[in-house]
Chain A
Amino acid sequence: MVFNLLLYISLAIFTFGLIYKISTWFSRSIGISSKEIPTSQRVSAAVKGIASVIFSAKIVTLIKVFFLDVLLQHRIIKEDFLRWLMHMLIYSGFMLLLLMHALDEIVTAKLFSEYYSTINPYFFLRDLFGLMVIVGVGIAIYRRFILKVPRLRTNAMDHYAIIILAVILVSGVVLEGAKITSYSEYQGMVEDYADLEEESEIEALESYWVQNLDVVSPNVKGPFDEEVLEMGQDLHDASCVDCHSPNQWAFNGYMAAKILKPISLALDGVGGSTILYYLHFLACFIGLAYLPFSKMFHIFSTPVSLLANAIMDKETSDPANIATRQVMELDACMHCGTCSLRCSAAAAFDALGNEYILPAEKMTFLKTLASGKALSQKQLQAIQEGVYLCTNCDRCTVVCPAGINLRDLWFNVREGLVQRGIPEPLVLSPFSFYRGLNRENISTEDYAGPLADANRAVAGKFEQVMDQSTPISFKGREIVELNQLPSAGTFSYCFGCQTCTTVCPVVNEYENPLETLGLLPHQIMNCLGLGLVEMASGPKMLWDCVTCYQCQEHCPQTVQVTDLLFLLKNLAVKNAEKIADQLSVDTEDV
């Protein structure tokens, strides 16, 4: 009764969760791609898309991907054998347990008329499948907590997944062990299957089971007489052996039974088997009900991602379907960290400490972003820096075991973020090269906005300090950052010959360079000589510098002009960040 009630409740939650999660694929948006596409259009585009694929040659690709990538997980074995082994053990072991053991009445009993959970091969197989999952979970724990795979970070979702699996499996094994040793279980079986009347027969069979099948009895205790055991064996052969294989075959439970033996009577006295049984199925039901909201949802979403990405591309697919796919992909990510491990830009994390530089962590954050939760300015800045600090090398997309098209997702999310109006200094770096190559995919206005925001932010107080009606304030000679590199201090050799400015291709590009660039290279060097660091770190010249090193190469005084411009840019970025931090603190105070 309770069992059925809980089963139906958890099934209902599971079903509702599944429907809800899938509906979010169509209702939520991420980045700029889904800005103007209503849910209804996305649903109909998906239906059309699926129908057109089923009745086309693409179905062959789908079938191939289903076997290779979904069932055999070819993309994982390519990356890491141990991980593949772990995943295969958990996934195949659990699936088989689900079908043969959990759904035995619906599946196994229908397929095999002689099915009985306590006879071989089922008795053995259940424990074998269980062992597979246990070993798999063991490998998962080993990888995350002992081997410490580089850049594999463990969050609450990962803990939950490991814990729920472990509880289901351990409770199952202990339950089996408890049942093996349990006297009341034994009595129940005797009542059901053995027709014993005489006192001596009862004692004989019980003795036999205590001796050979690990039951702990309050009545009899070894050593037993040979005769009693022989009689017990006869009775066992007549009534039991057809439905109960030797316990050794259920090796997990058998081992648990050996351990539980000393406390078996006490355990049985408090209904240990029943408690464990409740624990076991409660864990299963919680796992089932919470599945759509947990990492385990990837059982559904990851195959969908693998299949969708095998047949979709940016050029030919309906933009509405791409928008839907990108939201779905957030659910397909199981936070395995492969992308972070292979990320070309991830070393910057060591220097900057922003974990959103790591792609797997970006994905975790994007789930929050897509769910529409309010985010602080600080969080947005961090994720924006993380998403922008990407060299667009495509490695993450190539290796993702879920087949997620991270390249397009990053592009889309990046645009969505920088267009919010929070200045991102990295927009003024070669990280923007890819954005420049793709400018045709962004409207002119949206393209220019983030650049203007960033330019304004890195300029700092340039206009104020350049204001000629106020006296120049000499300060900031002791800038730590300027003393850390070989180029530090070389500006003091400058004798003002202006060669740097003369050879600069950027200066030559403009009719009135001073107006456009704020300060020219030689003027920046002069500023540094005078200690006017704030002034030197503000002009647009810094960000228009093409870093061609003509100035540095031609300087007769070996001033390392280009390298100094780099350092000034670093300084301007730090200042812009400081000002932004100050601003976000102020707004939070309000």
Chain B
Amino acid sequence: MMKFALFLGCNIPARVEQYDTSARAVLKQVGVQLVDIREFNCCGYPMRNADQKAFLISSAVNLGLAEKENLDIIVLCKCCFGSLKEAEHILKEEGELQEEVNRLLAQRGLKYTGKTQIKHFLSVLYHDVGLDTLKSNISRQYKDCKIAPHYGCHALRPSKITRFDDPVAPTIFDKLVEVTGAKSVDWTRKLECCGAPVLGVNDDLSMNLTRKKLEDAKKVSADYLCSACPYCHLQFDVVQKMIISQNGNDPLASVLYPQLLGLSMGLDEKILGIHMNQLNISNLSSFLESGEENAE
């Protein structure tokens, strides 16, 4: 049985709880066991602008905690994932900064030797669980449903460090979408930034990046965007709602990948938090074929 320490980060428990519950439900369905480590703290991502050491110690504490439990980490947030991978990369080198971080870890009775692997949720589904297992767990496929997957910068790049997928022509997310029967549409801004990193810093820039992505996905007549990161999700969900209130455009709602997958597995809509998104995605289930096993 696969067993991981679940790294939720800060956004999910506070603002995207449906990502937590839906990911847990999906992983349970495919036999992945999760361990919660309560002492996990911020991945350090927001501290990178201000202080490398603060970022690194914050990130390293998590790696040390997982190593103590002898577990690999599964990460739901792509920014957390990128930060933890970056920290892992920096800690491989030797230098004053690394010594200082190791000293601070030792003070907490922790150490990090590089044993713990850091994996994003999508990678676990694709590489560890596998498309075949996913397929066998799907009870009803989507039909005529066009999904525009949003890869998320901090998982894709820098690819030498994150090793998530091909940085120029990634396929993992598309294949994960297609396993549900939905069609993964190609769109030009698929690999571009969602705008979240500068929300609150330069809102015009942030919202323009979001707006352009939405327009682009609409051009290929996507029914929904699909993301697997709380930052991207909040940007496409809450921030899009703010943009709509300004310009009155039609929404292009975004679903979280475990919501998309979970529905096709026949999991409870409540647990998947379908109604917890700000923009309405309740229509998603109408794309499901009436399955033979559980005809309704």
Counting CB contacts under 8 A, is B231 at the interface? yes
Counting CB contacts under 8 A, is B118 at the interface? no
Question: Nearest chain B CB to A5's CB is how many angstroms away?
Answer: 54
Is the beta-carbon distance between B203 and A546 smaller than 8 angstroms? Answer: no
Residue A549 contacts which of B10, B158, B201 (CB distance < 8 angstroms)? Answer: B158
Counting CB contacts under 8 A, is B47 at the interface? yes
A347 with B57: in contact, given A427-B201, A433-B196, A552-B157 (CB under 8 Å)?
yes
Counting CB contacts under 8 A, is B270 at the interface? no
Counting CB contacts under 8 A, is B244 at the interface? no
Which residues of B sit under 8 angstroms from A546, Cβ to Cβ? Answer: 153, 193, 195, 197-198, 205, 209
A429 with B10: in contact, given A553-B158, A566-B52, A570-B51 (CB under 8 Å)?
no
Is the beta-carbon distance between A485 and B202 smaller than 8 angstroms? Answer: no
A480-527 CB contacts (< 8 Å) to partner B: 481, 484-486, 505-506, 509
Which residues of B sit under 8 angstroms from A394, Cβ to Cβ? Answer: 13-14
Question: With the chains together, A505 CA to B157 CA distance in Å?
Answer: 14
A392-408 CB contacts (< 8 Å) to partner B: 392-395, 407
B13-54 CB contacts (< 8 Å) to partner A: 13-15, 38, 41-42, 44-54
Is the beta-carbon distance between B46 and A484 smaller than 8 angstroms? Answer: no
Counting CB contacts under 8 A, is B280 at the interface? no
Is the beta-carbon distance between A344 and B47 smaller than 8 angstroms? Answer: no
Is the beta-carbon distance between B157 and A350 smaller than 8 angstroms? Answer: no
Is the beta-carbon distance between B50 and A573 smaller than 8 angstroms? Answer: yes
A570 with B201: in contact, given A345-B41, A347-B41, A548-B192 (CB under 8 Å)?
no
Residue interface mask A461-488, B partner, CB < 8 A = 1: 0000000000000000000010011100
Residue B47 contacts which of A428, A429, A481 (CB distance < 8 angstroms)? Answer: A429
Is the beta-carbon distance between A486 and B93 smaller than 8 angstroms? Answer: yes
A516-574 CB contacts (< 8 Å) to partner B: 543-544, 546-550, 552-553, 560, 562-563, 566-567, 569-570, 573
Which residue of chain A has its CB nearest to the CB of B195?
Answer: A546
Counting CB contacts under 8 A, is B242 at the interface? yes
Chain A at the B interface: SS class: helix
Which residue of chain A has its CB nearest to the CB of B40?
Answer: A344
Is the beta-carbon distance between B51 and A573 smaller than 8 angstroms? Answer: yes
Is the beta-carbon distance between B203 and A567 smaller than 8 angstroms? Answer: no
Which residues of A sit under 8 angstroms from B153, Cβ to Cβ? Answer: 546-550
Which residues of B sit under 8 angstroms from A566, Cβ to Cβ? Answer: 48-49, 52
Is the beta-carbon distance between A389 and B47 smaller than 8 angstroms? Answer: yes
Is the beta-carbon distance between B90 and A432 smaller than 8 angstroms? Answer: no
Is the beta-carbon distance between B104 and A436 smaller than 8 angstroms? Answer: no
Question: Nearest chain A CB to B57's CB is how many angstroms away?
Answer: 5
Task: Report the interface size for chain B: residues with CB under 8 A from the other chain.
Answer: 61
Which residue of chain A has its CB nearest to the CB of B196?
Answer: A433
Which residue of chain A has its CB nearest to the CB of B208?
Answer: A509
Question: With the chains together, A348 CA to B208 CA distance in Å?
Answer: 32
Counting CB contacts under 8 A, is B251 at the interface? no
Is the beta-carbon distance between B14 and A392 smaller than 8 angstroms? Answer: yes
Which residues of A sit under 8 angstroms from B242, Cβ to Cβ? Answer: 439-440
Question: With the chains together, A550 CA to B104 CA distance in Å?
Answer: 33
Is the beta-carbon distance between B157 and A429 smaller than 8 angstroms? Answer: no
Is the beta-carbon distance between B157 and A344 smaller than 8 angstroms? Answer: no
Is the beta-carbon distance between A436 and B203 smaller than 8 angstroms? Answer: yes
Which residues of B sit under 8 angstroms from A205, Cβ to Cβ? Answer: none
Is the beta-carbon distance between B54 and A430 smaller than 8 angstroms? Answer: no
Counting CB contacts under 8 A, is A417 at the interface? no
Is the beta-carbon distance between A505 and B53 smaller than 8 angstroms? Answer: no
Of A351, A428, A431, A553, most buried by chain B (CB within 10 Å of CB) is A351
Is the beta-carbon distance between A344 and B48 smaller than 8 angstroms? Answer: no
Question: Nearest chain B CB to A457's CB is how many angstroms away?
Answer: 12
Is the beta-carbon distance between A562 and B53 smaller than 8 angstroms? Answer: no
Is the beta-carbon distance between B195 and A344 smaller than 8 angstroms? Answer: no
Counting CB contacts under 8 A, is A451 at the interface? yes
Which residue of chain A has its CB nearest to the CB of B162?
Answer: A549
Which residues of B sit under 8 angstroms from A451, Cβ to Cβ? Answer: 201-202
Question: With the chains together, A161 CA to B157 CA distance in Å?
Answer: 54
Counting CB contacts under 8 A, is A346 at the interface? yes
A350 with B57: in contact, given A345-B41, A433-B200, A566-B52 (CB under 8 Å)?
yes
Is the beta-carbon distance between B158 and A430 smaller than 8 angstroms? Answer: no
Subset of 29 A-B contacts with CB under 8 Å: A345-B58, A350-B107, A351-B56, A393-B42, A407-B14, A425-B50, A429-B46, A430-B45, A430-B46, A431-B46, A433-B199, A436-B200, A436-B203, A440-B242, A484-B95, A505-B209, A546-B153, A546-B193, A548-B153, A548-B197, A549-B154, A549-B156, A550-B153, A553-B156, A566-B48, A567-B52, A570-B50, A570-B52, A573-B50
Interface residues of A (CB under 8 A from B): 150, 342-348, 350-352, 389, 391-395, 407, 425-437, 439-440, 451, 481, 484-486, 505-506, 509, 543-544, 546-550, 552-553, 560, 562-563, 566-567, 569-570, 573
Given contacts A430-B46, A548-B193, 11 further A-B contacts (CB under 8 A): A346-B41, A348-B54, A392-B10, A430-B197, A433-B234, A439-B242, A451-B201, A484-B96, A486-B93, A549-B154, A550-B153
